Structure 1
Amino acid sequence: MTEVREPAEMEETTGESAADGVIDSADVDIADLDPRTKHTKPFGWRFYLISFLMVDVVAVGLLQWSVWTVEPLRGFGGFISKMWTSNDYQFLLNMLILAVAYLILVVLINRFWIASAVFLSIVGFCAVADRFKVMVRYETIKPSDLSFLKSDAGSMVGFIPTGSSRVFMDAAIFFLAMVVICYSLHQRDGRRKFIDLHSHAKNAAVRLLFIVFPGLFLGLFTAGLATTGSWSYNFAQALGDSPKLWDSVTDAQANGTLIGFQRFVNPKVMDEPANYSEKTMAKIAKRYSQAADEINQTRESNLEDSTVIMVLSESFSDPTRVPGLALNKDPMPNIRAIKSQTTSGLMLSAGYGGGTANMEFMALTGLSMANFDASLSSPYQQLIPKLSWTPTFNQLWNDGKDSQAFHPYESSMYSRSSNYKKFKFRHFWTLNEPDVIAHQSRIDSSPYVRDSDAYQSLLEKIDTSKSQFLSVLTMQNHMSYDDWYSDNEFQATSTTDEPLGLDETTQIQTYAKGVEYTDEATKAFLDQLDNIDKPITVIFYGDHLPGAYASASDNTDNSVALHETDYFIWSNKASGSHGTKLPDSTTAFTSPNYFMAQTAEHMNAKVSPYLAFLTRLHDKVPALEPPVVNKIQSWSRIPDGQALYLDKEGNRIDITQADKATQQLLEDYKLIQYDITAGKGYLKDLDFMELPKTEALEEAEEAAKLPMGTKNAGEVPMVNGKLAAAAASQQEGQGAQSAAQ
């Protein structure tokens, strides 16, 4: 006889009570009603734990596969094995962070195997996208790339390389296999809900805890990873994290793709100045607009009427100035002679043996690394990708349309390829497509393109019909100086009681020979510029000393000497500033942030309010850099200590004892830099970066305002490409409007 069960018994059987009300459909799995699953047993917790760890390892492996385009399995094996070969635990660090995200997803979905499939799908998609970008640009995906998903999703297509069908096929096979495995396990597992306490309230509370607290950990870890001294920064460092910010792919390979991504999410730029506001910035703009007017009363030329060439000569400096070192001959007689005849001096560098991009950043923007937070060690990687306004000096030449850059190396280094687009350079010529630099020969067994070829590539792009801004970053004297040159007559010796080591001697002698080659190539380059009937001014500087002076760097008393490179500002015969040499009292010492202001002074050219500010500051504080150390650039942070300020004689300045005018300038500098890099950008709309209009430009504006039929209304002058097209377009519009009427 069939037993009839009372409703109360049914409620007890299903684990629901009348007090619970309507059953939440989100907690009901169709599989619970499937008779085929009635007799399946839930997997044990040990099996879940092992499966969780296996999925986590696979996820880390997928992300590392994305950055190892050659022998990915070997690369992943090395990533794991360095835990016992060098006590670096970046693998565990990446596992931990991924595990937290995985746990949140499991609890959120509350179905272990479905969550596992979703998790691996998300990670797999990210890995494929990252691999494509590495293949196309040799850069990893950064947080700034995600903006494409909102504003320009079509741009992501540019990350898909040709011949990528194999990657798509492998990804599809992996996805299908993963779905089959996870679905099969889901069907065999009697535990449908991962957390099932048979009480809605307890269920919700426990799940909420396992979502909120891991989510809070993940968010706080990511937010603080790039901030020096934060708990997440220290935790990552303890597990072996060592940022390699010159190359995002190298960083991902060494420290993990996920950690490499997270360190760019929330870099700390600088603290907000106490009095930062729109009103304050308006006062600053007015103050230096008046300063510009004063300066411009005695200036007769215009920067953009000349072609300006900025030469960053890799590791160039005078080795005869290094304490305790002697050479048997002068490696730079030509540049020494040039410096004696034109504006020149020593440049205080923030780096030793590295830090090229930071000097380049300061020279192009006029900003200073001394003002940034210690966490911001690489603006090109940590800052520029996040900025919407990036005013650089090349943009003074027709809003960047008449500017080009040359670098005979990989375009991806320091994310230059992406950053130069933001800087509005029309072309960036490197060893990579699409703009491949023309000349690429080497000297003997050197792995780097010779300076003479870098110069020749630039010379061929000079347009005598218009003014340009051209930048070249050489590579010839890049580390590591491994006895490259066959006929090297240089001999290096110690002038102290301690002789040079064999390796140090080889490196110094190789470097000295490279300096000689640079010296000869630079002299020939300037001679060729002298033959061009177009005003051209050259800013030449070494970015830092080579990291070859092991003996000298052991002595901290040599810190300043090991951070001073050579620079000069030179104009060709067609320039009105040819032969100009500003007084040594104003040029003996500088830092790269001042170069454009000094160039304007050398050329007797009118300045913008920003250049007027830099001119005033240079007069009070000739050189400033963040704290310096006698070792090759570390990318985890700016070194500890006080920023370095030099006076006109090269002596350190105690800035706390500076006069009020100097203190005011330094405070204004922080406000200006904060507004541009981390603030609201108030200066953008206050013409702070704008040079005074030339007479020709004013004529073009007036012509654009004239009604049709006015005499000479159609004769719209060209001023470096500015306004001419706009004026003509406006006149055409007026004509069309008249015709319509």
Structure 2
Amino acid sequence: MSTSVEPELTGAAEASEPVPAPPPATPAQVLRRGLIGSLLAAFVITLVLEASTLGIFYPRWFKDQVFDGGALWIDTLVVWVLIGFLWALIGRLWWTIGVVLALAVVVGAATLVKIRVREEPLYPSDLDFVREPDFLMSMVSPIFLVVAVGIVVAIVVAAVRIGRRQATRYPRLSIRRLPRQQALALAGARVALGVVTALLLVQATQFNQPGNVWRGLYELRGDHWRPWSQKTNYRSNGFVGGFLYNMPVEAMATPAGYDAARMAALADEYETVAARINRTRTGSLADTNVVIVLSESFTDPTRLDGFDLDEDPIPRTRALMQTTTSGSMLAQMYGGGTANMEFETLTGQSLALFRPQMISPYQMLVPEHADYPSAVGWFKSHGHDAVAVHPYRVGMYKREQVYERFGFDDFIHDTTMHDHDMIGDGDYISDASAFGEVLDQIDEHDRPLMVNLVTMQNHIPVNGAYDDPIGVSGLDGSERERVGQYARGLAHTDEALADFLAALQDSDEKTVVLFYGDHLPGIYGSGTKNDNAGLGLYETPFFLWSNQPGTNQPRQAPITSPVFFLPMLYEFANAPIPPYFALLQRVHESIPALQQGRMLDTSGSVVDPGDLSPDAEELIDAMRLVQYDFSIGQRHVLARMWPGATS
């Protein structure tokens, strides 16, 4: 018995002997392991961001990012620097990795949604929308939000748990528990890491400044930026590279030859041109209400290939357009760009002439000035009261600040309108209520009005808005539902617009209306987009209308940009124009449409800027000089070219 027990006791004795603990890691070992581990984490996080643009799933992505430009590796380096900064700040590597990964997931999810809706990635300026959480949440389904929040929480929790499990290999060194010399070394290392990474991150925010370190790295193998398509830009230069490329920058480079003498010569030239034009102009807008209507997502879906609607959603508008000046507007982008189209209309300044990083002048340019030249000041200087109407929140695109800089007397919005009616289960105030507000404002003012209305009824999402969507053939599933719902919304706008114009026609007050859609809604699937390659997804209807006899004459205008709407309005009314409008009118005669990275000639064909005629090139140079002078220049000739444009 004793022989049988002895091994057992012996084994027990051996099992009870303590296993020697591994020696504690030194600060140098912790730092070395942490740097390697954080670099691997940075690579994984970078891949998450790259995947959000969907470019990683195309063979071209590997060529552009891994081989040609090496953007993937530089993106990883930027993320690694961010991890290093937070690690120095927090002192816990796995917590830091969890926070950065969770942030990448949030940014990546937002990018996926934005690309689906607007065909463009996330920009630094989009951070302004954090102030409008209700609007952001309306863009995605509640299920998506719940899943996204769940993933973020899971990532942070997992990071904490992994950190505890890896405490032996990646221990958290406590300065208070280390010997004095090691404690000082650790404190010094954290401070040094924090300072170096902070300086590098500050450099990243100044990406577009001359001599920037990060931009220099991205351009080691040449300039690969593709600003004409930001989605392609992000895919070719990395998500981080594309994001940094769109960091704030001065709106325009100083044009060659810009000085007081050159601008005075331009003013002399176009004062003469305007005088020549005005000799034959016998009309006037001094006693006329001017109503500018930007109709959210108003388009003609029957012009698109790939599907058919059971009924025409805009028959009244289509018939009206045959009786007056009308045509197609070239939208800046698919699925978005409302504020930019409004900016071009009111200022006559083209985004095509700004730097490509000037994504949103409403957010990045106008609020930086005490005042800004616009049609608002111009009309006010000619006896009009100026009222802005937008049936939504005042914070969107900083409109409250922008409208104040433009000089509007009143800003009527969702909480100050007379009526707030919605149709069906729609999320936005109806166009009928918006048009009714304009009629109320006209009735309440003794002086003629300049009204800028930006509607909201047809803003996405449109799912489930109406009980009677228009039937769609040629599409399936959710796309068919979206298009049918959207088309029904257009039908409601069509009816409301006809009633609005009928009320103006019966009014004793003279009124002229400029109506245009700002962009196509982001509701179409990839098949429909492919079927309408080219300009098909960038054309929206516009028309000019007056309630005065003889003014409305059938005229099909060439495809145009909103930057030319003001001179077109004055030509329509046969009214005299300032020299600035004379310049825009001459540009329009040669280049009727221009947007960032795209110009159209009089036949509607895309033309390369290098192929412009000498006269057209000279006109663009003149327009660039004046735009610079008005926007960020010295305003040498504002009082001569557009008197009264600032109020």
Using structure 1 for the length normalisation, give the TM-score. Answer: 0.58
* 1:679–1:531 Cα change, 3 Å: same
Aligned partner of residue 224 in structure 1, secondary structure: coil
* 1:302–1:209 Cα change, 3 Å: farther
Say whether 1:540 aligns with 2:515: yes
Corresponding position of 1:470: 451
Corresponding position of 1:30: none
Tell whether the 8 Å contact from 1:296 to 1:607 is kept in structure 2 after alignment.
yes
CA-CA distance at 1:599 after TM superposition: 0.6
Distance in 1 (alpha carbons) for counterparts of 2:452 and 2:490: 20
Corresponding position of 1:29: none
CA-CA distance at 1:675 after TM superposition: 2.2
CA-CA distance at 1:234 after TM superposition: 9.4
1:644 to 599, 609, 625: 599
Tell whether the 8 Å contact from 2:304 to 2:532 is kept in structure 1 after alignment.
no
Corresponding position of 1:425: 408
* 1:195–1:382 Cα change, 3 Å: farther
Aligned partner of residue 351 in structure 1, secondary structure: coil
Say whether 1:509 aligns with 2:479: no
CA-CA distance at 1:583 after TM superposition: 6.2
Say whether 1:531 aligns with 2:474: no
Deviation readout 1:126-181 (Å, 9 max, x if unpaired): xxxxxxx9999759xxxxxxxxxxxxxxxxxxxxxxxxxxxxxxxxxxxxxxxxxx
CA-CA distance at 1:269 after TM superposition: 2.1
Say whether 1:624 aligns with 2:594: yes
Corresponding position of 1:606: 576
Specify every segment of 5 or more residues in structure 1 that has no aligned partner in the other structure, as ranges: 1-43, 54-78, 107-111, 113-132, 140-184, 197-202, 236-254, 494-498, 628-642, 693-721, 723-741
Distance in 2 (alpha carbons) for counterparts of 1:187 and 1:657: 70
Corresponding position of 1:550: 525
Code of the aligned partner of 1:512: A
Corresponding position of 2:633: 679
Corresponding position of 1:286: 268
CA-CA distance at 1:521 after TM superposition: 0.1
CA-CA distance at 1:226 after TM superposition: 9.5
CA-CA distance at 1:645 after TM superposition: 1.4
Code of the aligned partner of 1:407: H
Say whether 1:452 aligns with 2:432: yes
Tell whether the 8 Å contact from 1:403 to 1:469 is kept in structure 2 after alignment.
yes
Distance in 1 (alpha carbons) for counterparts of 2:274 and 2:53: 57
* 1:316–1:136 Cα change, 3 Å: closer
Alignment of 1:266-345 (within 5 A): 266-345=248-327
Code of the aligned partner of 1:675: D
Tell whether the 8 Å contact from 1:389 to 1:676 is kept in structure 2 after alignment.
no
Tell whether the 8 Å contact from 1:322 to 1:552 is kept in structure 2 after alignment.
no
Alignment of 1:90-169 (within 5 A): 138=132
CA-CA distance at 1:223 after TM superposition: 1.1
Aligned partner of residue 397 in structure 1, secondary structure: helix
Alignment of 1:645-724 (within 5 A): 645-647=600-602, 649-684=603-638, 686-690=639-643
Corresponding position of 1:18: none
Corresponding position of 2:20: none
2:463 to 473, 482, 492: 482
Distance in 2 (alpha carbons) for counterparts of 1:503 and 1:226: 45
Distance in 2 (alpha carbons) for counterparts of 1:91 and 1:431: 44
Aligned partner of residue 424 in structure 2, secondary structure: coil
Corresponding position of 1:416: 399
Distance in 2 (alpha carbons) for counterparts of 1:389 and 1:233: 36
CA-CA distance at 1:553 after TM superposition: 4.3
Code of the aligned partner of 1:534: E
Using structure 2 for the length normalisation, give the TM-score. Answer: 0.66
Alignment of 1:204-283 (within 5 A): 217-224=200-207, 231=214, 266-283=248-265
Distance in 2 (alpha carbons) for counterparts of 1:411 and 1:91: 39
Code of the aligned partner of 1:580: T
Tell whether the 8 Å contact from 1:316 to 1:544 is kept in structure 2 after alignment.
yes
Alignment of 1:563-582 (within 5 A): 563-573=538-548, 578-581=549-552
Deviation readout 1:633-675 (Å, 9 max, x if unpaired): xxxxxxxxxx23141x423334433332211111111212222
Say whether 1:405 aligns with 2:359: no
Aligned partner of residue 268 in structure 2, secondary structure: helix
Tell whether the 8 Å contact from 2:578 to 2:642 is kept in structure 1 after alignment.
yes
Deviation readout 1:307-343 (Å, 9 max, x if unpaired): 1111001111111111233222211111112111121
Aligned partner of residue 558 in structure 1, secondary structure: coil
Corresponding position of 1:597: 567
CA-CA distance at 1:532 after TM superposition: 2.1
Corresponding position of 2:100: none
* 1:443–1:219 Cα change, 3 Å: same
CA-CA distance at 1:294 after TM superposition: 0.9
Corresponding position of 1:374: 356
Code of the aligned partner of 2:427: P
Distance in 2 (alpha carbons) for counterparts of 1:666 and 1:230: 33
Tell whether the 8 Å contact from 2:421 to 2:430 is kept in structure 1 after alignment.
yes
Residue identity (%): 33
Task: Look at both structures and tell me which one has the larger radius of gyration over its CA atoms.
Answer: 1
Corresponding position of 1:733: none
Aligned partner of residue 308 in structure 2, secondary structure: strand
Code of the aligned partner of 1:424: G
Tell whether the 8 Å contact from 1:222 to 1:263 is kept in structure 2 after alignment.
no
CA-CA distance at 1:545 after TM superposition: 1.4
1:442 to 422, 428, 436: 422
Code of the aligned partner of 2:592: P
CA-CA distance at 1:591 after TM superposition: 1.1
**Count of aligned positions:** 493
Tell whether the 8 Å contact from 1:310 to 1:471 is kept in structure 2 after alignment.
yes
Code of the aligned partner of 1:307: N
Say whether 1:521 aligns with 2:496: yes
Code of the aligned partner of 1:472: L
Tell whether the 8 Å contact from 1:500 to 1:551 is kept in structure 2 after alignment.
no
Aligned partner of residue 326 in structure 2, secondary structure: strand
Whose RCO is larger (CA < 8 A, sep 6+)?
A: 2
Specify every segment of 5 or more residues in structure 2 that has no aligned partner in the other structure, as ranges: 1-25, 36-44, 55-71, 92-126, 134-173, 219-238
Code of the aligned partner of 2:588: H
Distance in 1 (alpha carbons) for counterparts of 2:217 and 2:436: 47
